Structures are given as C-alpha cells and as structure tokens.
Amino acid sequence: MAAIIGPVEEALKRLAARDDALHGAGPCAREVVRASKRAIAAVHSGDDAGPAIGDLGTAVAGLLTRVEGVGGLESSGTIEGALQEYAEAMIAVAIIRGSEVPGSDDLGIGAVPYVLGAADAVGELRRAMLDAIGRGDMASAGRLFSEMRSLYDLLAGCTVSNEAAPLRRKVDVARGLVERSHGDLTGAIVAGRARDGR
C-alpha cells in the first residue's frame, strides 16, 4: 500500500494546481468575453474598433498566460467558451471590415474554439447585413451575405464527430440564419426595385 502513496500524492498536487489555475482563470475568461462583446459592438456601431481589439488581445494574453503550463485547460468549459468568443469577435470584425480573416494560429488558439467561434460569427454577419440594408447599402449587404453563406457552406461540409467539436448544433443555427438572411436580402432588393420603378 505504501508504494501507491507517492504517485497518488503527485497526481493530487497536479490536480490541485489545475484547480487553482481554473479558479484564477475565471476572471480572465470573463474579461475576454466582455472585451469580445465590446469589439463587436464597436464595429457594428461604426466606431473605431482598434482600441477594443487591443483590449481584447490583452485580455486573451492574460488568460493564456494564466493557464500556461497546466495541460488541457484550454478545453475546459469556461476557458474554451471565452476563446470561442474571441474567435467569433476577431472573425466577425475582420469580415465586416473587409480585411483578412485571422486563422487559429494567428490568434494563438486551438482549432476547436476557432471553428466554434467561426460558426457563431454567422450571427454577427447577419446583424451587420441587416444594418447595411437599413442604411440602403445593398452592396455591403450583398457582400456580407456572400461571406456568411460561404462560411456556412464551409462549416456544413465538416463531418467531425460531436466529441471532436460540438459543431452540428451551431451549423444548424447558422443554416437558419443564412436562410432568413437570404429572404431579408431578397426582400430588400425587390422593395428597392419597386421603389425605383424597375
């Protein structure tokens, strides 16, 4: 029996370190979520999103530093959720701005939170498309719908298991958003033609 004490004590120490890191990472993860929302809000309102994106980068760096060296924490619910929000914000902001979309390596995060965040970005693209329609900017609305549709098509073709990444439900939500957006865009185009007498 004494032979097991050392290995179990060592495992318990690692488990305690993991628990401490998770508790310490909670406030950092919440700041990433808040900063992500601020970045998205800034780009939707037409404000300079640069400062919000800078704050977001700082928050993510703090989170990743907090969990560094404690294996597997990036896939814990709180931390992975925060990294998904980060990916969603960075992808949505890039597409809305018409800039190059960063990859998961550019963001310093794994493939799972990146892809799940990409799926969630469809909703932000819909919102931006509706804002463009409201401004009468049909060119931007069409571009955003095209990007949204391309992102959905790419994700819908993914066949990974739910255990690898719980993507299927997000893709189903994205499909509904794309379908409604297509109807909204088509309706706006038809209404515009009727107004113009075409």
Per residue in 139-161, pLDDT (tens digit) is 999 999 999 999 999 999 988 88
Average pLDDT over residues 169-197: 89
Distance CA 122, CA 95 (A): 10
| Tokens encoding 142 | 């069409």
Average pLDDT over residues 156-167: 85
What's the per-residue H, E or C state across 59-103?
A: HHHHHHHHHCCCCCHHHCHHHHHHHHHHHHHHHHHHHHHCCCCCC
User: The dihedral of CA 123, 125, 129, 135: what is its sign?
Assistant: positive
**Global pTM value:** 0.88
b/e code 28-37 from CB counts within 10 Å (16+ = b) = bbebbbebbe
